[in-house]
Amino acid sequence: MGEDCAGLRLDQALARLLPEYSRSRLSRWIRQGAVRVDGALRAAKERVWGGETVEVALQPDPQETAYTPEERPLAVVYEDKEIIVLDKPAGLVVHPGSGNWRGTLLNALLHHAPALAALPRAGIVHRLDKDTSGLMVVAKTLAAHVQLQRALAERRVRREYLAFALGTVPGSCTIEAPIGRHPVRRTRMAVVDPGKPALTHVQALEPLPGCTLVLCRLETGRTHQIRVHLHSIGHALVGDPVYRGTPKGPAAALLAAFPRQALHAARLVVPHPAGGRPLVLDAPLPADMAALLDQLRRHP
């Protein structure tokens, strides 16, 4: 460490010594223990006085390695030369992003089909929330990617979800309400004006203690659309950690204990990119939602 760094904080001194790297990256390396001063770990705020020996183990930026293939199981429902349809488990992030640069569905897809690396977002054309389970379609060729995006934009892809909504949902209803960023809580979505048009069809399938098993069909694909729309009419999803509702009745404790939003993409009807024939695919309720349904049906 040169004398010109004397009196500077460690992160400031590193920024002077390694100007090709951002301050945020250097600070992250210090927190990760990749920087040693005279053989010892130091905090970013500690001062240096010149003459110290600094060792830096250069670390790759997580964003630079986000598109790394990773072997992990995939529940492939259908696959041919043009597309892959899979049943995503709850808890799996679809695309790398802040806090989730590895271990995503995209990483698993790149291991399953390495040629996807040549496509935008590895062929992913629509997403499911981390804790939503169910069917997703992925393009395997650029032409299929374009065709699927066009079909989604033209509302020719039918997406049906099964969900447990709190309270007694009426027989059927259509929710048409614009969705945008929450005006105060910017990590959330909300029914706001102005917002992007959003349309959800809801059909009650089975009344249950404290909730209703419903079928939701999307006409549009806004972020958190079903969760926001059901919350907006007083029937939040069971287990939703963001758009919360309050379980009531004798099964309240059971409903409150469910660990994720009870939402599953159960049916996908998509025009096949090669020829346009409709491909109809179904995915049964995952084990956790099936167990909840069984418990509710047996609940006194």
Name the residues annotated as catalytic.
129
Only one residue has tokens 């349309």, namely 199
Return the closest-CA partner of residue 84 out of 125, 129, 131. Answer: 125
Q: Which residues contact 5 (CB under 8 A, 6 or more apart)?
A: 12, 13, 16, 17, 48, 50
Query: Residue 113: helix, strand or coil by DSSP?
Result: coil
Q: Which conformational region is residue 211 in: left (phi greater than 0), alpha (psi within -120 to 50 degrees), or beta?
A: beta
DSSP H helical ranges for the chain: 10-17, 23-31, 105-112, 142-153, 225-232, 252-256, 287-298
Three-state SS across 14-70? HHHHCCCCCHHHHHHHHHCCCEEECCEECCCCCECCCCCCEEECCCCCHHHHCCCCC
